[in-house]
Amino acid sequence: MPSYLQIENISKSYGPKVLFERIGFNVNEGDKISLIAPNGTGKTSLLRILAGKDSSDSGGRIIFLKDIRIAFLEQEYDYDPDSTVWDQIVSDSAKWTSHLDPEHVAAYELRIRQLLSSFKMGDPMRKMGDLSGGEIKRVAIIVMLSSEADFYIMDEPTNHLDIEAIEFLENYLSHARCTLLMVTHDRYFLDSVANMVMELDHGQVYIYRGDYQNYLEKRQERIDNYNAETDKVRNLLRRELEWMHASPCARTGKAKARKNAFYELKDRAGQEYRTNQINLDEIGQATRLGTKIINCRDLGFSYGGKTLLKGFTYNFQRYERVGIVGGNGCGKTTLINILTGQTSGLETLEIQGSIERGESLKTGYYRQEGISFDEDQTVLETVNDTHLLGRFMFPHDMLSNKIRKLSGGEKRRLYLLTILMRQPNLLVMDEPTNDLDIVTLNVLEEYLKEFKGTLIIVSHDRHFLDRLVDHLFIFQEDGTIKDFVGSYSQYRSLSLSKGQSKSQSKVGSTSSPTVAGSVGSAGDGTRGDAPESDSSKPRKLTYKEQRELEQLEKDIQSLTAEKADLESKLNGGLTDHEELQRVSARFSEVSDILDAAETRWLELSI
């Protein structure tokens, strides 16, 4: 494969902190690389240098193959809030379309329309300032993908996207004939898209072919080999030290050379590899939690006449672990704001129902937007505990750093510390994986697995959800919430089973997930430690329901086939505007019908 990119001797420092120094590597055609490193070690800086947005401190060389089209997706998208979605995309695409003739411009705009449809962006005449964070991220991704670039450089592409959008992007990139270098904390996304892992560690670059698990294994081998070599050097150093003590300080050239070699050995012997890793062991666990957590009765809210939630009745339990999922803008964050009593800024909402909170409740709320630190304060002024700061990978040489000098991920890590050090017994986390590196996420997951309190997580990170939650609240388009007992992967697998036989997808056993229907539709939604009743077993269908189920399986098969055919047409380069509109409208209609059929099929199958 030809080399798309050659990097030689590039460096970056911020003040006295060296991020990387005189590193070099090649990117070949077809490589799909995920760059991994702890927050604050230079991932974003490296991407910006390669994309031409920043420069190397040491000069060096960055050589791209001629005629390679490069698209760069930054973490934060710079947009005009008064521009429409369509105008914003067209404006940002001008660098690729300015030299095209009318026919090719029309084909380019067709790709934009197809991507808008695939990402379910709705009316392209909406103002950018009216979009949610997830919708803004979709616009940025559409600008990138519509270029059909040869080489994509992406910084946290899944941040702020809902799971459906992530899965579309994942499928698109895994099948695209492109080359890419990305930073991502999403381990499922990484494994589906990347064929290589590049690690930036202690200022050096290491490359591993394969998936994330292979990277972990090979990385550990590298560390073990390095430390084993250090042990050998130390043994040799002991023998040389004996010689130094036993021998007179001879002035011969041979003796001087041996003395010089001794000091080189001494330096190498002190270079044991140590992994900088966040340590949550001394944070402490949750304070004691009473029996009442949060009781909701007929909770609902609407905005601008649109009902986002209705009839939500549920009693949260001690030690419960629930994940909340749904599309961008469906009301997930609003729900947890109301649950925690954080209603400032929600005055325009129409809120119904009631909420009761336990007296012993001590809530830690990790917000998606973080908190507003005093940027002129130092790290130590923000959290006045040097021991805990050290455990959170803020060493002594960083304690005097101003907050404004921290990377986005370092700020998120500091914010996480301010939440956990209060030892809450109810921990509510809204998109906690955004901007945190994989190393920190792995440690956070281990801490949360042992958390002795109630855990409520809003997240688009499927790996994070799979490891931590017992059941899911799934926002529905009609404003209800479905309660699914099981992991996200189990839910997704069941949703995609589409007409497989009941024996393959039966979910009635205690070891398999179950769907409890709309929360609050029958009973109080309480989940506790009561013994299971016969209601946990699949009920017997009536004759009419059995016929309905059989027909649904047939309908789902035909709808799935039609949806795939329509999607193929949308991605196949339709040039007739009216035909594109017809196919796009039918695709949306079929998708809605299929969703409804699958939902009813799930209800009858348990």
Residues 100-127 have pLDDT tens digits of 989 999 999 999 999 999 999 989 999 9
- Residue 536 falls inside a structural domain: no
Q: pLDDT over 90 for what percent of the chain?
A: 48
Mean pLDDT, rounded, of the chain: 83
Report the range of poorest mean pLDDT among 114-128, 229-243, 376-390. 229-243
333/336 Cα distance (integer angstroms): 5
Where does a domain end: 528, 556, 577?
Answer: 528
- The Cα 603–Cα 606 span in angstroms is 6
Domain that holds residue 423: 294-528
Residues 471 and 563 in one domain: no
Say whether pLDDT at 250 is over 70.
Answer: no
Task: Give the CA distances from residue 527 to residues 153, 314, 353, in Å, rounded to whole numbers and listed in that order.
Answer: 45, 8, 20
Q: Cα dihedral sign for 588, 589, 590, 592?
A: positive
User: In this structure, are 326 and 344 located in the same domain?
Assistant: yes
Instruction: Select, from the ranges 61-75, 151-165, 442-456, 507-521, the one with the highest average predicted confidence (pLDDT).
Output: 151-165
Q: Is residue 278 part of a domain?
A: no
pLDDT digits (tens, 9 = 90+) for 166-217: 999 999 999 998 999 999 999 999 999 999 999 998 888 999 999 999 998 9
H-helix or E-strand containing 299? strand 294-303
Name which residue leads in pLDDT, 249 or 595.
595
Lowest-pLDDT choice from 20-29, 306-315, 536-545: 536-545
Pick 595 or 147 by higher pLDDT. Answer: 147
Q: In the prediction, which pLDDT does 573 show?
A: 63
Residues 206 and 231 in one domain: no
Asked, for residue 517, whether it belongs to a domain, the answer is yes
Q: Which two tokens stand for residue 525?
A: 């939604």
**456 shares its domain with 564:** no
Residue 263's pLDDT is what?
60
**Secondary structure string (H, E, C) spanning 363-413:** EEEECCCCCCCCCCCEHHHHCCCHHHHHHCCCCHHHCCCEHHHCCHHHHHH
Q: Is the pLDDT of residue 1 over 80?
A: no
Give the pair of three-digit tokens for residue 417: 């510390």
Whether residue 359 is predicted with pLDDT greater than 60 in this model: the reply is yes
513 and 566 in a single domain? The answer is: no
**What CA–CA distance (Å, rounded) separates 411 from 405?**
9
Q: What is the distance between the alpha carbons of residues 389 and 191, in angstroms, rounded to a whole number?
A: 32
- The structure's pTM equals 0.74
φ, ψ for residue 604, nearest 5 deg = -80, -20
Looking at the structure, do residues 495 and 582 belong to the same domain, yes or no? no
What CATH number does residue 16 fall under? 3.40.50.300
Provide the 3-class DSSP secondary structure of residue 228.
helix
Q: At what angle do helices 102-118 and 85-92 cross, to 10 degrees?
A: 130
Identify the pLDDT of residue 131: 92
What value does the CA radius of gyration of the chain take, rounded to a whole number of Å? 28
pLDDT at 159 over 50: yes
CB 312 within 8 A of CB 476: no
317, 343: one domain: yes
- Asked whether residue 345 is assigned to any structural domain, the reply reads yes
Verify that 209 and 230 share a domain, yes or no.
Answer: no
Residue 287 lies in a domain: no
Average pLDDT over residues 572-579: 68
Pair 469, 487: CB distance under 8 Å: yes
Please indicate whether residue 548 or residue 49 has the higher confidence score (pLDDT): 49
**Residue 163 located in a structural domain:** yes
Per residue in 260-295, pLDDT tens?
A: 666 665 665 655 555 556 667 667 667 777 889 999
Domain-terminating residue out of 215, 230, 258: 215
* Same structural domain, 556 and 437: no
The span from the CA of 536 to the CA of 440, in Å, is 38
How many domains is the chain built from? 4
* Banded pLDDT at 548 (limits 50, 70, 90): confident
Q: How confident is the model at residue 146 (pLDDT cuts 50, 70, 90)?
A: very high
HEC profile of 455-509 = EEEECCCHHHHHHHCCEEEEECCCCCEEEEECCHHHHHHHHCCCCCCHHHHCCCC
What pLDDT score was predicted for residue 574? 63
Cα–Cα distance, 303 to 20 (Å, whole number): 49
Please tell me whether residues 331 and 478 are part of one structural domain. Answer: yes
pLDDT, position 239: 67
CA angle 507, 510, 512 (to 5 degrees): 40
**C-beta separation of 606 from 494 below 8 A:** no
User: Do 550 and 407 fall into the same domain?
Assistant: no
Whether 277 is in a domain gets the answer: no
Instruction: Give me the percent of the chain exceeding a pLDDT of 70.
Output: 82
Q: For position 195, what pLDDT does the model report?
A: 95
What would the pLDDT profile of 497-545 be if each residue is shown by its tens digit?
644 443 333 333 333 334 444 565 433 444 443 333 343 344 567 777 7
Is 283 inside a domain boundary? no
Looking at the predicted structure, is the pLDDT value of residue 400 above 80? yes
Residues 582 and 467 in one domain: no
Among candidate residues 215, 230, 257, the one where a domain is terminated: 215
CB burial of residue 429 (10 Å; 0-12, 13-18, 19+)? buried
- Any idea which of 408-422, 449-463, 564-578, 580-594 has the lowest mean pLDDT? 564-578
